[in-house]
Structure 1
């Protein structure tokens, strides 16, 4: 084997793996959302809500324990202060407010992780905050700076090729470019607004095939029938989705069949 073919084989091996992350800990008080304990064995990274868009101290503690028992990497999932809207409504916030609320929420979850003997591994913004930071450089910089100042060893998960991942790279954080198993994409690589037809993928086999294609080819289907280039280190599965558990099972099985290793983001 010559040197060039050896390098090519090495690159192919690296591509044949993917992190599967899931948004968890999004229950609140007497209200239960998602099937966290059942999903955790299938995913490799858990993004745990920090009390602003969902979650409360008891839910945070319980979800951290479940994730540690499952051996799943734990990340903070900060969102906008919008329990009624589940953090999916756009709120007019400044960069300084986003910085402060991100530090606050990372610190809260990190305390629970440390108290249970674990280590926080990453941060992934939620919902509207995620989408806003993907498009606005000032908010992306605020989140990246907040993560870096709390702990520069943390990874930052963000929409592939977005302002958020670019800001994380500039400040020196480890970056996980993220794609979605259960969301539709526009031709420019952005997520389809939830109100549009095809924005939410409801078929588990379709979602699983998409994950395998992203992992192996770095491409995803667009509504016009073409392909969108999609570099991804991690794939998101929404834990509050009706079919989340079935999706998780199908994705892991499809990856195993295709020779794609599902493992935590390194």
Structure 2
């Protein structure tokens, strides 16, 4: 198959449904060979099934593409290592990693259990970190062996991670952490030929249909940006966060220094308070947290 990802080997986590499925199909349509990962869990992370990943593989193959299924838990070291191995053992290479897997356990903070916190942080935090770590180790070894690397990692954050979201303290914290991970990975891995970016998608999936009932954008609307970032055509783009919804793409600009006051010495509490009041009067008003009234 031809396309901007012809001959590239792409891994997509959480690719059995929703955004991940759309990404896997879009990569395959552009000529990529795809490892389709999905644990087959429910919306809250419970249960497991190899069915969703295999269904996407079957769909790609029916369209003339190449794909293999992986149903391991990528939030474990063993699962993440086997994910990278699936690409290397099947096609002898790995070019792009799309970290997309996740689930929700929404509660207001006073009702949020420790288990709900830990489970969401695990799937989004470790589920991004461990595949990234194992893929990066492979690419570093390739670069040190003198073999050219043009690798790509696309992480999945959220508007909740950028602005916060009422009732999603665990999810918002996990998605904000992914932004930090993206920036560090881009800085550390660039020397090995690896580019790392993140997307904050807005699309109607089973994860968003209740929280954002009015959202009508489709997962397929986000995938073209992901495919481009995962291709060789995205050369030079790294350490960025993009918001994508329907036909709109926005470069998100993170924390930057705003108004500043410098006394040149230690403040008294009352002086610090007076200074803060003056600074806030000159500062931009923050965008509201999702769901805030």
Q: TM-score, normalised by structure 1?
A: 0.39
Which of structures 1 and 2 has the larger relative contact order (alpha carbons within 8 angstroms, sep 6+)?
Answer: 1
Q: Which is higher, the Rg of structure 1 or of structure 2?
A: 2
Q: TM-score, normalised by structure 2?
A: 0.36
